[in-house]
Amino acid sequence: MMARVRSTATSPGHRLRPSLRPVTAVAAAAAFLLAGLTAPTPVQAGTPVTHREPPPDTATERGALDVARQKNERVEVGSLRTETRTVYATPEGSLVLEQNARPVRVRQDGRWTPVDTTLRRLPDGSVAPVATAVDLRFSGGGDAPMAKVARGAKSLAMTWPGKLPEPVLDGATATYAEVLPGVDLQVTADVDGFSHVLVVKTREAALSGRLDRLDFALQPEGLTVRRGRGGGMEAVDRTGAEVFAAPTPLMWDSPDTVRALAKRPGEGPDPGTRHEAMGLRVDDRALTLTPDKAMLADPDTRYPVYLDPSVSAPRGSWTAVWKRYPTTNYLNSSDVARVGHENDTGGTNRSFFQMNTGSAIHGKQIIKATLRTYETWSWSCTKKPVELWRTGTISKSTTWNNQPTWYEKLNTQTVAKGWGTACPAGGVEFDATAAAVQAAAKSWPNITLGLRASSETDTYAWKKFRNNPTLVVEYNTIPTTPVAADVWSDPGGACVSGTARPRIGTATPKLWAKLRDGDNSVKARFEWYDAAGTKRGEFLTAAASSGNAFTATVPAGVYTDGSVIRWRARGEDGQANSGWSPYCEIGVDTTAPGREPTVSSARYPENAWGEGLGRAGEFTFGANGEADVTAFLYGLNTSPVTEVSATGGAATISLTPLEEGPNVLSVRSKDGAGKQGPIRSYVFNVRAGTGPAGYWRLDEGSGVTAGDEAGAHPVAVTGAAWADGRAGKALKFAGAGQYAATAAGVVPTDQNLAVSAWVRLSSLPAGNVAAVSQSGQDNSGFWLGYSGGVKSWAFMMNHPGGTSHTIWARNPAVVPAANEWTHLTGVYDSATRKMTLYVNGTLAAGPVTYHGGAGPATAVQFGQARYQGRQTDPWPGEVDEVRVHDRALAADEIVKLVNHAATLTGHWTLDEETGTAAADAAGVTGPLTLGPGASWTSGWLDGALALDGAAGHAEASRAAVRTDDSFTVTAWVQLDTLPPADAAAVAQRGTRARGFALGYAADGPRWSFGMAGADADGAPVTRTRSDAVPYVMEWTHVAGVYDALAKKLRVYVGGQLVATTETGHASTWNATGPLQLGRTLHDGAFTGHWPGIVDDVRTYQGALGDLDVARLAAE
């Protein structure tokens, strides 16, 4: 065993560079840290932290994984970066989360910057650090406050009673020499606050009487300073939320000279054998400390003596517990982490770290998790074991006597680092995989880990660690389990089993599976069995991108005539496997017609790109030399069940593909005895659908002509007026003789077509009224509107030259309402002669077969129809956004028409820095006017708006979105504190209630997005809440989406959506009040004031998609 210089435990919560010359000193220290951020240990070798901005195409996990594979290097996932977290995609397809206990970077001038507390002099003479999370200013000398920390509208300044000399700067510390005879003052910057130390260099100075009472003037803004629980100090905001806290201040004398020589820079003074509490008096004007005079005068007291009123912010990232001080809390102190027992003072310690993993690993497969620590000191070079445990959470109530539960031991490392050159300081890694597995499976927002010595009586097990460890979690997204629709065979077709299994004329079919993996790379494993359940073979494919179709061929000789092939498939990504697909069965029957039918199509050739979505095409089937083929069975993207008779062994049908990309037409022959032949899988590719043949936005607002966005068919307006529309303007009709019409025909009715419009009835008439129709010789070729007889929306097809045949597709179950915008879409598929009607994007009626004749393209009319040669059915109300297509529309295309592309209605960058107005960069809603309690500050991107949590707000002069339609609101936000009640960062109000509010839910707490059910007192509020937990002083991108079509609320955090953050809601009213920042409305009173910062607010009319939100979060 090596000889060692004795060293002992240092004081918790203190940070002081030891003097480089022998002095006798008394020190008084106070560390002020703003809520929510923790002072980081400087970035250490072996713990790389990325600060370079990632490229936009790596905002999502999938995008980053693609780039990582292309470059064969790990790539950061941009949208998941925070002050404490970095997530990387690896070339192997996994993701790696690096979560620090404390911040390692901050936002500065809209970009990530490494924490740098180095002090520099500013042009105004003051002193400030290079890059910290709060605005820090130290005195440059004179009467200015010794130190001031500001966060938006809240700040706390501390002033020395007298003029200060010009400081000497050394790294993060400013030293003011001789502030009293024999006394120096040291002030040190940290990432989220400051500390100060009063150094008394002689015994004479200590006994001069000038230290009998230490007065520091306080200047709080937006805070109230008061005596806290347990005799300490606390500073609270107007909501009562704690912003700063301090335990009872202590004083202690020094150990002997040998111990002092063993001290390491930055560890602070050692706590000798004698400790006393100091008197503390505090209010909004001053903090007064009264040292123990008897201890100062005692001849046995060894100098220097230290006075430590340690102050920290109420955060929850790390803490230590001291057996010697069993009821004292040291949450987020600036001290090192301590483990074990030392016999100089009889001190025993344990340390805890709370790692905010958020929702990044929820539901993931955990490959490995490692806690990377850095040991700075050991009692000797004799290696002793230290244990890592999973524990309960920590808080400001955590003490030795009130420790969190020690649930399970995760790992033990036997090490000794930091005593000297024989065992220098260095990294120590602990296996934390078991804890990460539980966090992923149970969706925990954070993981709390504890360090303790295996023996707490062996002084050689005493160790110190840096207080900012990194939890590194490598994880993988498990492939999605394929369902029946994802697997098929050729021949054989769709996946079925039992008596419905198809018969095929070969024993070597190709098996297919479409597989998906969130990490975008997957292999397919196929297995095949016989009817008795005995496995007969398997095959693993090469890896390919998610969403591809994978195939395997059953080898010859495995099955014979009469056999049943029973097979299944699953996805594998090298780390995890999906569940198995359902079993599919194929009967091998060589006595049935043995050859597949031939299939051909001029419009949709096999294995090639054909026509666009929604256009009918002819397909011809042939017997392929088989005798006695009397019919064919076929199915498009499904099993072949539709029968068509064969003439001379051939048949021709017409089909309209409604799925973009690969389509599978399954066809089989049928003989006179009813035997069915093998299934032919004819694969063809369908292009994206073409735009409308006519598209009238009706946004002109005046005049007698409305343009056609498709270019060829403007409408002439007769008698109708212009009014506000569903979006922009619309045409308003009030009776007979008011209409708009094209001069020529747009689409014929003998082919596929679709017509859609936004409509609003001013009343519900008793008869039929037409919003859009196509004029004919006698009757309208198509008719879209309202049927008063059955009180229903309706779609009609007529033979334009006839007088008696009318087909209606109507649905009384969909109840129309007056003065409510509704989207109608009528679709006619000429291949199947089927009509369908969609209301607000949902199938409402049909398909209904149309048996009438066809007609040529004739003029399109808005506001009336034609019946028996005369104009009729005048529309009472508005018509907007009319489209006529010369093809059928697929259901998802109709959804997109309703839930149209989101339009930016407001963008407030909040970069003004001066004045009382915030400009709207979109130029739609207009500027925001700042109210009392709102002020300019630095933000996520340049400037931002600070709100005091009491009255602070900003307000527009009008509404930004209609809340009875789909909309999106996004913002970068930061909380100064976690308030005890809900708080709104962005909201829009009615007269008595909120239209929406995006912000913070105290219950949890969680991020939330909510809407009131009505503009009335006591109206219920429907909210959706995030999985992610808010943390103070952490910039977070939040987005709220109301999808009126799906009737759902969604909330995104950091650009990410979890399935559990969707909540059903159908808005029944439009909040016409102005947009608000920093507050909302409840029962006619303003509430929910935001205690923090808001930046880069955007509003959209329409529901943004997942990728759009992720891109905004990654900007």
3-class secondary structure per residue, 169-225: EECCEEEEEEEECCEEEEEEEECCEEEEEEEECCHHHHCCCCCCCEEEEEEEECCEE
- Sign of the C-alpha dihedral computed for residues 253, 259, 264 and 265 taken in this order: positive
Mean per-residue pLDDT, 965-977: 93
The residue behind tokens 């014979």 is 560
- Note the pLDDT tens digit of each residue in 1053-1080: 988 886 556 677 877 899 999 999 999 9
| Out of 139-148, 369-378, 626-635, 854-863, least confident range | 854-863
User: Between residues 1007 and 272, which one has the greater pLDDT?
Assistant: 1007
The residue behind tokens 């593909």 is 657
pTM strictly above 0.85: no
> How far apart are alpha carbons 1101 and 361 in whole angstroms?
32
Amino acid present at 112: W
pLDDT, position 83: 85
> How far apart are alpha carbons 552 and 572 in whole angstroms?
15
Contacts of 631 (CB under 8 A, 6+ apart): 643, 644, 645, 646, 651, 669, 670
Q: Above 50 in pLDDT, residue 918?
A: yes
pLDDT, position 266: 38
Under the banding of pLDDT at 50, 70 and 90, the label for residue 932 is: very high
> How far apart are alpha carbons 582 and 489 in whole angstroms?
13
Contacts of 45 (CB under 8 A, 6+ apart): none
Mean per-residue pLDDT, 82-99: 89
Contacts of 949 (CB under 8 A, 6+ apart): 222, 237, 238, 239, 241, 976, 977, 979, 983, 1089, 1090, 1091, 1092
**795 strand-pairing partners:** 784, 809
Under the banding of pLDDT at 50, 70 and 90, the label for residue 267 is: very low
| Cβ(218)–Cβ(158) below 8 Å | yes
User: 678: alpha, beta or left, given left = phi > 0 and alpha = psi -120 to 50?
Assistant: beta
> How far apart are alpha carbons 1083 and 1094 in whole angstroms?
25
Helix or strand or coil: residue 695?
Answer: strand
Q: Above 50 in pLDDT, residue 30?
A: no
User: Between residues 495 and 1062, which one has the greater pLDDT?
Assistant: 495
Mean per-residue pLDDT, 988-1017: 94
Under the banding of pLDDT at 50, 70 and 90, the label for residue 802 is: low
Q: Above 70 in pLDDT, residue 360?
A: yes
| Out of 12-16, 78-82, 495-499, 853-857, least confident range | 12-16
Under the banding of pLDDT at 50, 70 and 90, the label for residue 808 is: low
| Out of 373-387, 732-746, 851-865, 898-912, least confident range | 851-865
Percent of the chain with pLDDT over 90: 47
- Which range has highest mean pLDDT (163-167, 520-524, 841-845)? 163-167
Q: Above 50 in pLDDT, residue 14?
A: no
| Cβ(797)–Cβ(776) below 8 Å | no
Torsion from C-alpha of 595, 601, 607, 612, nearest 10 degrees: -150
User: Between residues 31 and 156, which one has the greater pLDDT?
Assistant: 156
Under the banding of pLDDT at 50, 70 and 90, the label for residue 902 is: confident
Pair of tokens at residue 816: 């129309």
Average pLDDT, the chain: 85
pLDDT, position 263: 42
Mean per-residue pLDDT, 413-427: 96
| Cβ(932)–Cβ(916) below 8 Å | no
Under the banding of pLDDT at 50, 70 and 90, the label for residue 812 is: low
| Cβ(733)–Cβ(875) below 8 Å | yes
Helix or strand or coil: residue 606?
Answer: coil
pLDDT, position 17: 27
| Out of 28-37, 160-169, 292-301, least confident range | 28-37
Mean per-residue pLDDT, 871-896: 90
DSSP-assigned letter for residue 499: G
pLDDT, position 758: 93
Under the banding of pLDDT at 50, 70 and 90, the label for residue 518 is: confident
| Cβ(1037)–Cβ(1055) below 8 Å | yes
pLDDT, position 1051: 94
pLDDT, position 350: 97
DSSP-assigned letter for residue 1072: -
User: Between residues 21 and 1013, which one has the greater pLDDT?
Assistant: 1013
- Note the pLDDT tens digit of each residue in 171-217: 999 999 999 888 888 888 888 778 787 777 888 888 888 888 888 89
| Residues present in the chain in total | 1115
> 10 Å Cβ neighbour count for 620?
14
Under the banding of pLDDT at 50, 70 and 90, the label for residue 20 is: very low
pLDDT, position 673: 58
pLDDT, position 445: 86
Under the banding of pLDDT at 50, 70 and 90, the label for residue 946 is: very high
Pair of tokens at residue 266: 């930055």
Mean per-residue pLDDT, 411-425: 96
DSSP string of 941-1010, one letter each residue: SSEEEEEESSS--EEESS-SS-TTS-EEEEEEEEESS--SS-EEEEEEE-SSSEEEEEEEETTTTEEEEE
Under the banding of pLDDT at 50, 70 and 90, the label for residue 594 is: confident
